[in-house]
Amino acid sequence: MTGMSRATLRYREIISLSAPIAGIQFAQVALTTVDLMMMGLIGVGAVAAGGLGLLLYNQLRTMCVGMVTGVGNLVAGAVGRAEKRTGSVGIDDEGREEVRDLVRAALLIATLVGVAAGGFLVALGHVLPLLGQDPAVVALAQPIMLTLAPGLLPMVWMNVLRQFAVGMRRPGSLLVVTLVSIGVNALLNAVFIYGWLGLPRLGLAGIGLSTTLVQVWTFLVYFRMIRRDATLRELMVLDGWRARRATVARIARMGTPIALTYGSEAAITSIASLFMGTFGPVALAASNVVNQLAYIVYQVNIGLSQGTSILVSRALGRGETDEIGPIAHQALAISLALMGAIGLVYVLAPHVVLGAFLGGQEDGAVLAMASVLLWFAIAHQLFKGSQNICVGLLRGLGNTKAGLWNTLIGYWLIGIPAMALCAHTAAWGAYGVWFGLCLGFGATSLLLWVRFTAELRRFTAAQGESDGVPAA
């Protein structure tokens, strides 16, 4: 096989793994985006209170997903070691039992984390008055937080199944399910808002309930897909109560830094929004629109990050450390090409891009500021996407702590101070906030790539002296 054909095959492997993951990510974003749009049918107060509830829900959802994200890497590593033992693309009895053990432990962790996060979300609703929130907002926010909370459990279960399937390199496609779930969510929102079919009018609580029901439905559909796959079916186990304590601890050690990294990333964006709010409603509205746009695009990089991470874990399990560098370079090339193409659209047609969010907006000041912020969004997407891919590569090498520590440095020691200095001390105003945000993501990306390069050199040098399996 020539170098060119191997590179082409590698590109196909990256895309085939990453695309389904990105699709599921888009589905999650679409659910809450539809929810926010439907809240506008109730009133401005509902948008404020419901938006607050969704913000807290998404923060916990992201961290729950982080706790089980490493499962895909562990499964891929087990498969890679089995292939190394058998000398073929197949899995032996030892590998099968290792994968089943990982699935059991992951489901147990998912159950515990999902229940805890749901309870915490409900508790947060009762703490809101102590955080200075308006009583009217609290009264509206508490019901939707209560009905959103149960949906965290099927959501994190579904992510365990996703990581299991991706680790086996059989992710399947949820495109049709994604499209249907968006429509079903919007329909259920309307049913519960207006009390159709004789049901009570539940308002915001109904919007949360519809999202929870869609989460349950999506989990059941994905579970059925796995049960219909002969390869996955024989490895799928549901007896989480039989999980080995050592395996549970292994997944938890790997997942905790990932969850904290995801939480830190969400926090810096929230802080940036608070900074923007100090410059008035126009600046905040423009920033929210551009940030939502960037967040949607970011799901592509999440897919690339997880897909390449799985390939690195498999290569490491097979002892093929020479494959890791090319995987990293090609994943970064795909990301830069896609983000560059999207950035070009921003530059050439900013009003078209923003029209989806500001189509009925008469305030030209919001549109003008958002058009300028799109330039910052280009850098934002390049840096944030690059750093996320590198976090995935490090996770593939078994190192999840590096992602946490480097993001803490980049976000909290560089990014947030830079926002304050550029916005207020340098008097760049709202644009200074986004400059500082981009600086934080850029610094984090640089730190992570330096660390990945060092880690890869260490693994390459030690290949002949170890079995190629890093400590989680």
Angle between helices 93-127 and 44-86 in degrees, nearest 10: 160
CA distance 18 to 72: 13
- Mean pLDDT of all residues in the chain? 82
pLDDT score at 281: 67
Residues 306, 388: Cα–Cα separation, whole Å: 9
Q: Residue 36, class by beta-carbon neighbours within 10 Å (0-12 exposed, 13-18 middle, 19+ buried)? A: middle
Retrieve residue 180's tokens: 């249907």
Token pair of 173 as six digits: 């496609």
Q: Distances in Å between the alpha carbon of 400 and those of 139, 252, 403, 453?
A: 40, 11, 6, 15
Whether pLDDT at 163 is above 80: yes
Provide mean pLDDT across the span 262-266.
81
* Nearest Cα residue to 126 out of 193, 53, 64, 59: 53
Structure tokens at 397: 């090498």
Report whether pLDDT(1) > 50: no
The span from the CA of 281 to the CA of 38, in Å, is 21
Q: Is 302's pLDDT higher than 50?
A: yes
**Can you read off the two tokens belonging to residue 254?**
């790997």
For residue 92, what pLDDT band results from cuts at 50, 70 and 90?
A: confident
- Write out the two tokens for 134: 């308006």
Average pLDDT over residues 361-367: 65
Q: Is pLDDT at 181 greater than 70 in this prediction?
A: yes
Looking at residue 447, its pLDDT comes to: 93
C-alpha distances in Å from residue 373, one per residue of 82, 340, 347, 437, 438: 49, 16, 11, 12, 11
Q: Report the pLDDT value the prediction gives residue 468, as an integer from 0 to 100.
A: 47
Q: Check if the beta carbon of residue 274 is closer than 8 Å to that of residue 141.
A: no
Q: Read off the tokens for 380.
A: 């934002």
pTM: 0.76
Q: Which of 34-43, 166-175, 235-244, 277-286 has the highest mean pLDDT?
A: 235-244
Residue with tokens 């147990």: 108
Quick: pLDDT tens for 410-449. 999 999 999 999 988 888 988 999 999 999 999 999 999 9
Query: Which of 107, 113, 112, 120 lies closest to 148 in space, CA to CA?
Result: 120
Contact predicate 25/298, CB 8 Å:
no
- Residue-level pLDDT at 146: 92
pLDDT value, residue 279:
77
Gap between the Cα atoms of 161 and 227, Å rounded: 11
At residue 465, the pLDDT reads 55
Q: What tokens does 461 get?
A: 């040098």
374-412 as b/e: b if 16+ CB within 10 A: bbbbbbbbbbbbbbbbbbbbbbbbbbbbbbbebbeebbe
CA distance 19 to 307: 8
Residue 106: its pLDDT value, please? 93
- Tell me which residue has tokens 């102590």: 130
Q: Which helix (H) or strand (E) holds 143?
A: helix 135-148
Is pLDDT larger for residue 81 or for residue 366?
Answer: 81
Of 60-64, 185-189, 348-352, highest mean pLDDT: 60-64
Through-space distance between the first and last CA atoms of the chain, rounded to whole angstroms: 34
Residue type, 299: Q
Between 102 and 170, the more confident residue is 102
Most confident of 297-301, 395-399, 411-415: 411-415
Distances (CA, A) of 45 to 52, 127, 136, 140, 151: 11, 19, 8, 8, 24
Q: What is the pLDDT of residue 89?
A: 65
Residue 195 φ then ψ, to 5°: 70, 40
Residue 361 has pLDDT above 50, yes or no: no
Residue-wise pLDDT tens digits, 184-219: 888 888 888 887 877 777 878 888 888 899 889 889
- What pLDDT does 436 receive? 93
Q: Is the pLDDT of residue 113 over 50?
A: yes
The whole-number pLDDT of residue 469 equals 47
CB atoms within 10 A of CB 355: 13
Residue corresponding to tokens 């054909």: 5
Query: Is the pLDDT confidence value at 378 over 50?
Result: yes
Q: How far apart are CA 377 and CA 297, in angstroms?
A: 10
pLDDT bucket at 251, cuts 50 / 70 / 90? very high
The CA distance from 277 to 260, in Å, is: 26
Alpha helices in 168-280 (DSSP H): 175-194, 204-227, 230-233, 245-277
Segment 32-48, tens digit of pLDDT = 777 766 776 676 566 66
Give, as one character, the DSSP assignment of residue 88.
S
Alpha helices, H only, 278-363: 281-317, 324-348, 350-358
**61-75, 129-143, 213-227, 354-368: range with lowest mean pLDDT:** 354-368
Q: Where residue 462 falls among pLDDT bands split at 50, 70, 90?
A: low
Of all residues in the chain, what percent carry a pLDDT higher than 70? 88
pLDDT at 40: 63
Say yes or no to pLDDT of 21 above 80: no
More confident residue, 108 or 15: 108
For residue 365, is pLDDT > 80? no
DSSP assigned state of 472: -
pLDDT at 103: 92
Confidence of residue 10 (pLDDT cuts 50, 70, 90): confident
